Chain A
């Protein structure tokens, strides 16, 4: 009897390979058809509405003012420049937010595990209050109920004649490059190079002889002493320009607009609540046996924490921390609610309304966020891979 094998196999719907192929062809066909229909519809709609598609509009002059721009900007500048300003503002908020939220989140997360009852309870209250209130509501609250109700510049809150908080935002001294600046930069680089060399030498000696060296304290001393000496010889690296009240507003110094303050404050407070939970679960995931083992090897509390607990906890903390950073970057788009000039409110809001180029503007905005998301996750994946457990 001859088997009905491979070469003579009939094409039948009961064959899983055939069926899989058929399914996939169907799916791809469906996706392509849908894309084509969408394209056709959009094309006819655009033609009927008389909208010319394409990115030529980016060259046109914008003609409106922007409240905060990190690079120079005039009303006559192009939409492309407006886009860059919005992008830079988004990145600024994300960067400040990530740094502050990480610091605050780690402090709160460790506090929740504190043996001090009242500190632990306070941290719990913080987490439970702030992670259960929508971020947009927090932004609106800080903006409309806190910063806009502050007194005007003439009766602003004064912090030691250096910082002034008013309804116009936070006025602070501006750093300006002085005579000793470049010498100072060179001295800092020199200090860092010295520290690296010192660490190498100390590690080599420790491995060879077992004699420890106070790397941290010596390094700190080097980092302080070398630049300080340099500043003494060549003069101060920076000159501080103080804000002064003139008429109804401050002159000189840097000013952080209230929109930026409200946005970063709200995002920091909101994200820190989540980071605190991540940190807490990360530290709790390292079993107590690890601490005991480290102690029994003769490590004291500090080295136990630095060399045993934290490296293991970080492995658990990093992946969810990444997604919190991504959330923060995406939540920065909530600035549209208070009109801080970042990507969404500036570009997808004002520029879209002025030009009517809906498809191009939304596509650019979405791809920017996709690019930010993908690059943050690539960076964190690389870091995660570096510190991940190498199983043998």
Chain B
């Protein structure tokens, strides 16, 4: 794993920079003045106890929540607020803590929805299946099948996702996000509730994604072992504040982090 941790220093253009982000719900502070940056092509882990504001931070990055203060600089452009749709257009894809699949649709259809932004045909062409639509449907299917193969979910492709076991649903959700060919991938607890074997599989898929497609990944994970192995960059949150930021090695020895997080839980 030593080769991975050097890549942070080699490839040092930031893709995403958060500057002084604050967010509150009805007066309750969820995030207070958080700044950090994520380099192009790295895997960055957000860790911290429950309620530390990790999910809220992801929601801010892709525009589900609007921050009260602060700016987000993504791919060189700086902005105060962003809508989920704009985030998707700019190549930010994500998965959710509580699986957010389209339960009434098949695995294949779920993955195909991820191709949505690569559609060029108009809805009229799609409705009548004329013009660009038929060729495009085949092309999107081919791309979707690539992702399905990459994540090895071929046997379930025609099943309704609502009927699949939890671990597989997590994988389908990743497939849907990857189908969008994102530049930045946000994963909210991709391994929650999984056993060791499933976690290993998922870690492998995440690493493969980074290596094969050069995708920048920000993930939230509670399993410290996994985090230390997987990521080149770790940001530690506690009570909505940033208490640590650096390589896994640096974070491991950070006294604040040990006091607030590593030393007390898990």
A binds B: no
Which residues of A does B touch, CB under 8 Å?
none
Which positions in B face A, CB cutoff 8 Å? Answer: none
